[in-house]
Chain A
Amino acid sequence: AQSVTQLGSHVSVSEGALVLLRCNYSSSVPPYLFWYVQYPNQGLQLLLKYTTGATLVKGINGFEAEFKKSETSFHLTKPSAHMSDAAEYFCAVSDRGDSSYKLIFGSGTRLLVRP
């Protein structure tokens, strides 16, 4: 069965510093990969996704993630953190094909941005 591991339930960075949120997955076949952001008391917003093609994926709000098959990783980065980036971030995977709607989520990483 697939699983997703997000290292670090809380990550704290200073405003302007690099943001790195880690995500590793376990799957025998490369899945679809997603990052979602959740602001307090809101739903999930899709930041970016990897399905095929270029392994470096650019998303909204200056975020990007790189799919590394050899490391089974899909870490999320942003060069310079902004106060508005403070939120909870979820990595998710799904099978390719008929059950691609069934997302498997990690437990989330709460990003804190210090002024």
Chain B
Amino acid sequence: NAGVMQNPRHLVRRRGQEARLRCSPMKGHSHVYWYRQLPEEGLKFMVYLQKENIIDESGMPKERFSAEFPKEGPSILRIQQVVRGDSAAYFCASSPFFGGENSPLHFGNGTRLTVT
């Protein structure tokens, strides 16, 4: 029973390059969330997606960041023209339903992005 799968586990990019982070939710889960953890901080919400729809992107930086969850395949978090401040751990979570006490988030192991 696979959990939330994220890849790659570690990603190194030079300033100005693009970073693509992938997330496959748990089987049966159609709701995906991305969170970012900066060094020495707790996780912060970025975006909530369902298949082919962005439901809430209130935590996404206005520029360079985008997310999608296509009908087929994993969810993708894309960061264009990365800067050093983008270095962080990016976690994906999924849930079977929309919110509520019976729909806790299940987190993946994260992708650790390092920008050199």
- Flag whether B69 is at the interface (Cβ < 8 A): no
Complex CA–CA separation, A41 to B10 (angstroms): 10
- Flag whether B56 is at the interface (Cβ < 8 A): yes
Q: Find residues 9-40 in chain B having any chain A CB closer than 8 Å to their own CB.
A: 9, 31, 33, 35, 40
Q: Find residues 13-36 in chain A having any chain B CB closer than 8 Å to their own CB.
A: 32, 34, 36
How many residues in A have their beta carbons less than 8 Å from beta carbons of B? 29
How many residues in B have their beta carbons less than 8 Å from beta carbons of A? 30
Among A46, A51, A107, point to the contact of B42 (Cβ < 8 A).
Answer: A107
The answer to whether A98 and B109 touch across the interface, beta carbons within 8 angstroms, is: no
Q: A43-B107, A44-B91 are in contact. Are A105 and B101 (CB under 8 A)?
A: no
Complex CA–CA separation, A52 to B4 (angstroms): 27
Among B9, B42, B45, B91, point to the contact of A102 (Cβ < 8 A).
Answer: B45
Among B31, B104, B109, point to the contact of A42 (Cβ < 8 A).
Answer: B109
Chain B's nearest CB lies how many Å from the CB of A22? Answer: 15
Chain B's nearest CB lies how many Å from the CB of A110? Answer: 10
A90 neighbours in B (Cβ, 8 Å): 42-43
Q: A101-B31, A101-B98 are in contact. Are A106 and B45 (CB under 8 A)?
A: no
The answer to whether A100 and B100 touch across the interface, beta carbons within 8 angstroms, is: yes
Q: Give per-residue flags for A85-98: 1 if the beta carbon is below 8 A from chain B beta carbons, else 0.
A: 00000101000111
Q: A43-B4, A103-B45 are in contact. Are A97 and B99 (CB under 8 A)?
A: yes
- Flag whether B41 is at the interface (Cβ < 8 A): yes
| 10 extra A-B contacts, CB within 8 A, seeds A52-B101, A101-B56 | A44-B43, A44-B91, A46-B105, A90-B42, A92-B43, A99-B56, A100-B99, A100-B100, A101-B99, A102-B56
